[in-house]
Amino acid sequence: MYLAKGVRTQVAIVGAGPAGLFLAHLLHRQGIESVILEQRSRAEIEGTIRAGVLEHWVVDLMNDMGLGDRLMREGHFHSGITLRFGRRSHHIDMSELTGGKRVTVYAQHEVIRDLVAARLEDGGRILFGVSDVDVRDIDCAAPRVLFRQSPDGPMEELPCDFIAGCDGFHGPSRQAIPAACRREYQITYPFGWLGILAEAPPSHPELIYANHERGFALLSTRSPEVQRLYIQCDPRDDIANWSDDRIWSELHRRLEDGSGWTLTEGPVFQKGIIGMRSFVCEPMRHGRLFIAGDAAHIVPPTGAKGLNLAVADVLVLSRAMAAYYSTGSSDGLDGYCATCLARIWKAERFSWHMTTMLHRNPGESAFEQRLHLAELDHLVHSRAAMAALAENYVGLPME
């Protein structure tokens, strides 16, 4: 799609990840115009394979917006999870503990494919492959985004009323907030995840989280034919050091319990190592710029909160913008940061808690390891503790 010179929009959205795409759809439902600028190609954003666990309310939202048909056909609906430690398994029935709520395993790139297709079908404007994106004049009543529509093309500008920075941790939006006006909180964990995709049938109907003396492991799924699995490793390690045989050997050791259950192997067709961190930027607004999703916060994947937090951000933002355009009230826009950050910090706490409880920190003492095991033991034998975990895992209420 080519954007003609002189075009103006109400909301310029930087980034076509989950936050930007959901925001565009939510604004469209309120009659608010937007243009999405994305530096990657459509093939790149739809082909970057990332896992996804959707909270109960996010699935309801997608269905309410008419975006959930393929999700409901192909998603995997999980009513619980299994925790393994000390070579014993403990099932947590989240649905029973939360009045029927559940999570849905549906990969993030599949969500993106659905949102892009629906956006283009609606006639929405997404500019893929733009470059040199620059956010300007955010302190003024007429902000703008500068960009090139092609690598050799001239710099162009998109004037707008507001800018939504949904461009991830490394994008330009957060950096446009003056350093003196923002505070960034961050933890870098001393371990990472080695993740694989394997052609194999499911080994277990739901996710298994394992705390093992050799480190954490996670059994997940992507489809009836493809499974996703992770093991804790040194984030500085070279993936070349990990043969398929070594990976499967570690997965068997860390995931199998004393029940006779065994992991099903299959050909590995993708593997890589990612670092782990927690990050929050405050505030999430400066002038007419609002940041959302990974531009504003990062959570370790243990708690499965990243995509869900992004959707929560833009749902709050879309409601605030709808009120502004319909009544002139800026109360929702003024309260955007406080509303979002209250939820974000709860999700950060939950993700940090799950991560520290289930992983083996290379620098922790034997005393600390025993504390983590005691915490797990308390969790699986206390209905109140299980209910608290389930409540957070399926998603805190949005209202």
Catalytic (active-site) positions: 78, 209, 301, 305, 393
Q: Are strands 226-233 and 192-199 parallel, antiparallel or unpaired?
A: antiparallel
Distance from C-alpha of 384 to C-alpha of 342, rounded to nearest angstrom: 23
Longest dimension (CA), the chain: 68
For the chain, what is the total number of helices (H) and then of strands (E)?
A: 13, 21
What distances in angstroms separate CA 309 from CA 98, 116, 212, 262, one per listed residue? 20, 19, 29, 34
Sheet holding 297-298, edge to edge: 183-188, 277-282, 297-298
With beta carbons less than 8 A apart as the criterion, state whether 158 and 145 touch.
Answer: yes
Distance from C-alpha of 83 to C-alpha of 116, rounded to nearest angstrom: 36
Q: First CA to last CA across the chain, in angstroms? A: 37
With beta carbons less than 8 A apart as the criterion, state whether 219 and 204 touch.
Answer: yes
- Least Cα distance to 332 among 388, 269, 285 occurs for 285
With beta carbons less than 8 A apart as the criterion, state whether 252 and 262 touch.
Answer: yes
Length of the chain: 399
Q: Can you read off the two tokens belonging to residue 291?
A: 């940041």
Distance from C-alpha of 8 to C-alpha of 35, rounded to nearest angstrom: 9
> CB-hemisphere CA count at 13 Å for 118?
22
Q: Can you read off the two tokens belonging to residue 22?
A: 């959901």
